[in-house]
Amino acid sequence: MSDTVIPYMVKPHPVTGIPNGKFGIWLFLASEVMLFGALFSSYVLIRTGAPHWPPEGGLSSEILNVPLATLNTGILITSSITMVLAWASCKLGELPKFKLWMGATILLSFGFLIVKYFEYSHKFELGHYPSHDNFYAVYFTLTGLHGVHILGGIVVNSYLLGPGSKLWATDREHFTNRVENAGLYWHFVDLVWIFLFPCLYLL
């Protein structure tokens, strides 16, 4: 039915060679690359133009909580693995395993946000807000925007785990494509953190 209502949602488009859904998510991710690319470029310009970084002295690794950020890095990498396993379960025709791995992905996502909550709470207790200086403005902007993307991923993945999984009964291939597209987004979010972690916390 999906191919008659909206063409090429399952079968590859003859021009692009991929289904329209995957083409759409790649276009969306291209816009996300431009967004984060602009923010990273601004960060580089601000940092190279500052006489001291961080402005209050010391090292980034002494001001930010590296152990918590390392824990969150491990959480996100693990969530990428569970996301792949969820998609692989769909390809193998095993819906219960898909629900298991997708549920694990969502739980890990919440785990990331919980760790970030404790990290932010400590900064607020010390009176370190985005208005404190350029260092914290960059820190909260980049990590906050990333956190919003984590929330977006949780919403999409929760839909696929819940009401969206009804599509499995009528069009398994289309549902599997949706999971793959959500996985592409999720891997991008993880990749952004892989860059954020060393740039903000270690360098």
For residues 122 and 65, the answer to whether their CB atoms sit within 8 Å is yes
- What stretches of the chain show up as alpha helix (H) in DSSP? 2-5, 20-49, 60-63, 66-91, 95-125, 134-161, 172-196
Domain of 97, CATH number, reads 1.20.120.80
Residue ranges making up the domain that contains 85: 2-202
Residue pLDDT, tens place only, 139-192? 999 999 999 999 999 999 999 999 999 999 999 999 999 999 999 999 999 999
Supply the pLDDT for residue 1: 44
How far apart, in whole angstroms, are the C-alpha atoms of residue 57 and residue 43?
Answer: 17
Q: What is the pLDDT of residues 83-103, one digit of tens each?
A: 999 999 999 999 999 999 999
> What per-residue confidence (pLDDT) applies to 90?
97
pTM exceeds 0.75, yes or no: yes
Mean pLDDT throughout 14-42?
91
Domains held by the chain: number: 1
pLDDT in tens, 97-130: 999 999 999 999 999 999 999 999 999 999 999 9
Confidence at residue 21, expressed as pLDDT on a 0 to 100 scale: 87
**Gyration radius from the chain CA atoms:** 20
